[in-house]
Amino acid sequence: MKNITVIGAGTMGNGIAHVFAQSGFKVNLVDVAQASLDKGMATIAGNLDRMLAKEKITAEDKANTLNNITTFLSVEEGAKEADLVVEAATENLDLKLKIFQQLDAVAPAHAVLASNTSSISITKIASVTKRPEQVIGMHFMNPVPMMKLVEIIRGYSTSDEVTTAIMEMSKQLDKIPVEVNDYPGFIANRILMPMINEAIYSLYEGVAGVEEIDQVMKLGMAHPMGPLQLADFIGLDVCLSILEVLYEGFKNPKYAPCPLLVNMVTAGKKGVKSGEGFYDYSESKKAEKLAKQFVK
């Protein structure tokens, strides 16, 4: 597999495009909005600049990586010569099913169709295609260029050959692939999201404050980031969506989203992406923090 198509130029999509391109693959990055493509490419260039400053790559490596990426506004054009397509669109079932129907129609017959979904059934996604044995999950972690793990999710019909090929390809990206089966939340989010949800419940019930909850988990459990801060980083809307998938999939009340999480998402408090979640990331807050650095 030489030619890679990535659908979606957002946080995950541009990160996936970055690691494939840096590993020498030719990448077509597809999005419906030119502004998203421009922002995605700017993010990749910025990440490469940071790697260059730390002497992790050379100027030639940066140039080659950027030259390996071509942007497209059309799935038909971007995927027509793909050997592998990695879908990294919004975590919405209807949208993903629509994209995979389209990919099945336009991608070459040999192409493997992968989804970066963090919770949606690969079997369900594969069911709208005529090649379910060639549909698989590649769940990268954020930030993609830094995080080693890739969850490789086998759908009910995913073939051994495709699974082996994607496992080996992930290693070519300097990642560590872990094979899991197709059940709600897979492994990463089946374990992570209930922890985050319980942290939100602890706040909701007044057991402790935001910073106190995060401090306990960082200092007591050696987590690099507290669960509420991590939820902000992931996106509270994404956390809610994954919990809803878990709750719907298992019909177990332990996965029911905390009412506080539901209310925050409804109010538009989605974490870092919206400027406010459990913490304040607004420009005014940033200016306040900056000012404090100069006050002795």
Q: Which residues are annotated as a binding site for NAD(+)?
A: 8-13, 31, 91, 96, 118, 142, 273
Q: Is 74 a catalytic residue?
A: no
Q: Single out the catalytic residue among 115, 116, 119, 189.
A: 189
| Active-site annotation holds for 139 | yes
Active-site annotation holder among 36, 139, 170, 241:
139
* Catalytic residue (one of 151, 197, 241, 276): 151
Q: What are residue 202's phi and psi, to 5 degrees?
A: -60, -40
Q: Can 127 be counted among the known catalytic residues?
A: no
Specify binding-site residues. 8-13, 31, 91, 96, 118, 142, 273
Token match 């197709």: residue? 182
State the catalytic residue, choosing from 118, 119, 170, 274: 118
Please name the residue that has the structure tokens 């830094």: 146
- CB burial string 227-248: b at 16+ within 10 A, e below: bbbbbbbbbbbbbbbbbebbbe
- In angstroms, rounded to a whole number, what is the distance separating the alpha carbons of residues 227 and 277? 12
Instruction: State how far the Cα of 232 lies from the Cα of 234, in Å rounded to an integer.
Output: 6
Active site residues: 118, 139, 151, 189
